[in-house]
Structure 1
Amino acid sequence: MPRSAIASGLVDLILPVAQMPEQILRVIRTQPSVAVVDELAEQAQRERKVLQALFGQVRARTGQDFSRYKPATVLRRIRRRMQLNHIEDLERYLERLRHDPGEVRALGNELLITVTHFFRDGETFEHIQDQVIPALFADKDAGDSIRVWSVGCATGEEAYSLAMLLLEQAGRLEAAPKLEVFASDVHDGSLARAREGLYPDSIAGYVSGERLRRFFFFNEDGFYRVHPQLREIVIFASHNLLKDPPFSHLDLIVCRNLLIYLQRETQEKFIELFHYALNPNGWLWLGPAETIDRAGLFEVEDKRHALHKRRNVPAPEPSLPVFPNTWRTTLADGQDGGRSAEPASSYGLLHQRMVERFAPPSVLVDQDLKVVHCSEHAGRYLHVPGGEPSANLFKLIREALRVELQAALHRGRERGQPQRTAPVALELDGEPRQVLMQVRPSQDPALGGLSLVIFDELPAGQAPSALEPPAEPAEGDAAELARTRARLRAVIEQYEASQEEMKGSNEELQSANEELRSTMEELETSKEELQSMNEELQMVNQENRHKVAELTQLSSDLNNLMAASDIATLFLDRQLHIVRVTPRAGELFNIRACDRGRPLTDLHRLVAYEQLEEDARTVLERLTPVQREIPGQNGTWFLTRVLPYRSTSDQIQGVVITLVDITEHKQAELALRASEARFRALVEASAQIVWTADAKGRVVDESPSWRAFTGQTEAARRGEGWLDAVHPEDQAPARAGWRRCVQEEAPLDLELRLHHVSGDWRWTHLRAVPLRNDGASLCGWVGMCTDITERKRAEAKLLAEDQRKDEFLAALGHELRNPLAPLRTAVDLFNQRLPANPELRELVQIQERQLSCLTRLVDDLLDMGRIKSGRISLQRAARPARPGGRCDRQSARGDRGRRSGAERGAGRGRAAGAGRPGAPDPGRHQPIA
Structure 2
Amino acid sequence: MPDDTDDGVDPDLEQLLAFIRDARGFDFTGYKRSSLARRVRKRMHDVGIAEYLDYRDLLETSADEFGFLFNTILINVTSFFRDTESWSYLQQEIIPELLGSAEADQEIRIWSAGCSSGEEAYSLAIMFAQALGIEECARRVKIYGTDVDEEALREARTGAYSEKALEALPEDLREDLRELYFEQSGSRLVFRSDLRRRVIFGRHDITRDAPISRLHLLVCRNTLMYFNVEAQSQIIDRFHFALRPEGYLFLGKAEMLLSDGERFDIVSMRQRVFRRRAGRAEPPHQPNPLKLTAPTGGERRDAARKRQLRDLVLETAPNAMIALDLDGAITQVNSQARAQFGLTSQDVGRPLRDLEVSYRPTELRSLIEQAHSERRTVRVNGVERRSSDQDVQYLDIIVQPLAADDGMVVGSSVAFVDTTTLTRLQLEVKRNREDLETAYEELQSTNEELETTNEELQSSIEELETTNEELQSTNEELETTNEELQSGNEELETMNEEIRIRSTELDEARTFLEGVLASVAAGVVVLDGELRVRSWNRGAEELWGLRSDEVQRQPFFQLDFGLPTDALVEVVQRCLTSGRRTDPVDLIAVNRRGRRIRCSVICSPLDSQAEGVVLLMEDLQEAGEQD
TM-score, normalized by the shorter chain, greater than 0.5: yes
The CA distance in 1 between the partners of 2:586 and 2:146, in whole Å, is 73
1:597 maps to 553
Letter in 2 for 1:261: Y
Return the offset for 1:658: 7.6
3-state SS, counterpart of residue 284 of structure 1: strand
CA-CA distance at 1:281 after TM superposition? 2.3
- How many angstroms apart in 2 are the aligned matches of 1:639 and 1:141? 91
Q: Which of 341, 344, 362 is the aligned partner of 1:366?
A: 344
Q: What displacement does 1:376 show? A: 7.0
Q: Cα deviations across residues 531-553 of structure 1 (Å, max 9, x unaligned)?
A: 32233233334444555555556
Find the residue that maps to 1:242 and give its secondary structure: coil
TM-superposed deviation, 1:258: 1.4
- Would the alpha carbon gap of residues 566 and 314 (structure 1) be closer, same or farther in structure 2, given more than 3 Å must change? farther
Residue type matched to 1:657 in 2? V
1:270 is displaced (CA, Å) by 1.3
Q: Is the 8 A contact 1:255 1:287 kept in 2?
A: yes
Partner of 1:657: 614
Which of 245, 253, 275 is the equivalent residue of 1:309? 275
Q: How does 1:746-785 map to 2 (within 5 A)?
A: none
Distance (whole Å) between structure 1 residues aligned to residue 13 and residue 222 of structure 2: 24
1:262–1:643: structure 2 CA closer, same or farther, 3 Å change rule?
Answer: same
Asked whether 1:287 is paired with 2:229, we answer no
* Match status 1:502 vs 2:468: no
Counterpart CA distance in 1 for 2:568 and 2:92 is 76
Does residue 255 (structure 1) correspond to residue 220 (structure 2)? The answer is yes
Percent identity for Structure 1 against Structure 2: 29
Residues 188 and 369 (structure 1), Cα distance of their counterparts in 2 relative to 1, 3 Å cut: closer
Of 178, 190, 195, the match for 1:212: 178
Q: CA deviation at 1:175?
A: 7.9
Which of 253, 259, 263 is equivalent to 1:297?
263
TM-score (normalised: structure 1): 0.47
**1:162 CA drift (Å):** 2.5
CA contact (8 A) 1:118 1:203 kept: yes
Q: Secondary structure at the match of 2:145?
A: strand
Q: Secondary structure at the match of 2:141?
A: strand
Find the counterpart in structure 1 of residue 77 from structure 2: 115
- Work out whether 1:243 is the aligned partner of 2:208: yes
1:202 has 2:164 as partner:
yes
Task: Please list the CA deviations of residues 768-797 of structure 1 after superposition, one character each: whole Å capped at 9, or x if unmatched.
Answer: xxxxxxxxxxxxxxxxxxxxxxxxxxxxxx
CA distance in 1 between partners of 2:17 and 2:108 (Å) = 38
Deviation at 1:373, TM superposition (A): 8.4
* 1:420 Cα offset (Å): 3.1
Identify the residue that residue 234 of structure 2 maps to in structure 1: 269
Distance 1:85 1:349, change over 3 A: same
CA–CA separation in structure 2 for the residues paired with 1:421 and 1:152: 56
Instruction: Answer with 204-213 or 146-155: which moved more.
Output: 204-213
Over residues 747-778 of structure 1, what are the superposed CA-to-partner deviations in whole Å (9 max), with x where a residue is unaligned? xxxxxxxxxxxxxxxxxxxxxxxxxxxxxxxx
Q: Answer yes or no: is the 8 Å Cα contact 1:34–1:79 preserved in 2.
A: no
5+ residue gaps, structure 1, are 1-31, 41-46, 325-345, 353-361, 383-397, 406-418, 430-452, 458-485, 646-651, 672-929
Using a 3 Å threshold, how does the CA distance of structure 1 residues 315 and 181 change in structure 2: closer, same or farther? closer
The CA deviation at 1:506 is: 0.8
How big is each residue's C-alpha offset from its partner over 1:544-576, in whole Å with a ceiling of 9 and x where there is no partner?
Answer: 455555555666666666656768655544323
SS state at 2:476 partner: helix
2:41 is aligned with 1:79: yes
| Candidates 535, 539, 556, aligned match of 2:494 | 539
The one-letter code sitting in structure 1 at the alignment partner of 2:556 is L
Contact 1:628 1:641 in 2 (8 A): no
- Cα distance change on mapping 1:558 and 1:497 into 2, 3 Å: farther
Task: Kindly provide the amino acid, as one letter, of the partner of residue 280 in structure 1.
Answer: P
What is the one-letter code of the residue matched to 1:596? Answer: Q
Alpha carbons of 1:235 and 1:428: their partners in 2 closer, same or farther (altered >3 Å)? Answer: closer
Within 1, Cα distance between the matches of 2:197 and 2:527? Answer: 57
How far, CA to CA, are the matches of 2:119 and 2:157 in structure 1?
Answer: 11
Whether the 8 Å CA contact 2:557–2:565 is kept in 1: the answer is no
How far apart are the structure 2 equivalents of 1:566 and 1:224?
51
List per-residue Cα deviations over 1:179-229 (Å, max 9, x = no partner).
332222212222222223443443242242332344445555x44444434
Backbone CA RMSD of aligned residues? 4.9
SS of alignment partner, residue 279 of structure 1:
strand
Secondary structure of 1:37's counterpart equals: coil
1:578 aligned partner: 533
d(CA) in 1 for partners of 2:254 and 2:91? 21
Is the 2:395–2:416 contact (alpha carbons within 8 Å) kept by the matching residues of 1?
no
Pick closer, same or farther for the CA change 1:553–1:154 going to 2, 3 Å: farther
* In structure 1, C-alpha distance between the alignment counterparts of 2:196 and 2:520, rounded to whole Å: 50
| Aligned match of 2:605 | 642
SS of residue matched to 2:8: helix
Cα gap change, 1:175 to 1:263, in 2 (>3 Å): closer
The one-letter code of the counterpart of 1:305 is: Q
- Aligned pair count reads 511
For residues 258-309 of structure 1, the C-alpha deviation after alignment (integer angstroms, 9 at most, x for no partner) is 1111122221221121222223322211111112233322222111121112
Amino acid at match of 1:281: E
Distance 1:304-1:180 versus aligned 2 partners, 3 A rule:
same
The residue type equivalent to 1:424 in the other structure is V
Could you say what secondary structure the match of 1:579 adopts? strand
1:365–1:546 Cα change, 3 Å: farther
The 2-side partners of 1:618 and 1:587 are apart by 28
| SS, match of residue 274 in structure 2 | strand
Q: Structure 1 175/378 Cα, relative in aligned 2: closer, same or farther at 3 Å?
A: same
Query: Do structure 1's residue 124 and structure 2's residue 86 form an aligned pair?
Result: yes
The one-letter amino acid paired with 1:598 is: Q
Residue 39 of structure 1 pairs with residue 39 of structure 2: no
Aligned partner letter, 1:33: P
Distance 2:261 2:602 in 1: 86
Letter in 2 for 1:38: D
2:412 aligns to what? none
2:392 to 404, 421, 424: 424
**Contact 2:575 2:582 survives alignment (8 Å):** no
State which of 10, 13, 16 in structure 2 corresponds to 1:54: 16
Q: Does the aligned pair in 1 maintain the 2:254–2:479 contact within 8 Å?
A: yes
User: Relative CO higher for 1 or 2, CA cutoff 8 Å, sep ≥ 6?
Assistant: 2
Distance, in Å, in 1 between the alignment partners of 2:156 and 2:226 is 23
Q: Is residue 142–residue 177 contact of structure 1 (8 Å, CA) maintained in 2? A: no
Residue 255 of structure 2 contacts residue 476 of structure 2 at CA under 8 Å; is this kept in 1?
yes
1:179 equivalent among 141, 156, 159 = 141
Distance 2:75 2:194 in 1: 29
Cα pair distance change 1:347/1:132, threshold 3 Å = farther
What whole-Å deviation, never above 9, does each CA across 1:592-614 have from its counterpart, x for those lacking one? 12322112224477899988766
Distance 2:388 2:455 in 1: 30
Task: Call closer, same or farther: CA 1:99–1:620 in 2, change over 3 Å.
Answer: farther
Q: For the Cα contact (< 8 Å) 1:252–1:282, is it kept in 2?
A: yes
Give the deviation of 1:244 after TM superposition.
2.7
Please say which of residues 280-289 and 240-249 is displaced more in the overlay. Answer: 240-249
Q: Kindly provide the amino acid, as one letter, of the partner of residue 295 in structure 1.
A: G
Task: Provide the rounded CA distance (Å) in 1 between the counterparts of 2:524 and 2:490.
Answer: 43
Work out whether residues 364 and 371 of structure 1, in 8 Å CA contact, stay in contact via their aligned partners in 2.
no
Q: What amino acid is aligned across from residue 197 of structure 2 in structure 1?
A: E
1:619 & 1:551 partners in 2: Cα distance? 28
Q: SS of the residue aligned with 1:237?
A: strand
Once residues 50 and 569 of structure 2 are traced to their aligned partners in structure 1, the CA distance between those partners, rounded to angstroms, is: 53
Match of 1:184, SS state, is strand
Q: Tell which structure's C-alpha radius of gyration is larger.
A: 1
| Normalised TM-score (structure 2) | 0.67
State the match for 1:169 in structure 2. Answer: 131
Report the Cα distance in structure 1 between the residues aligned to 2:45 and 2:208, rounded to whole angstroms.
32
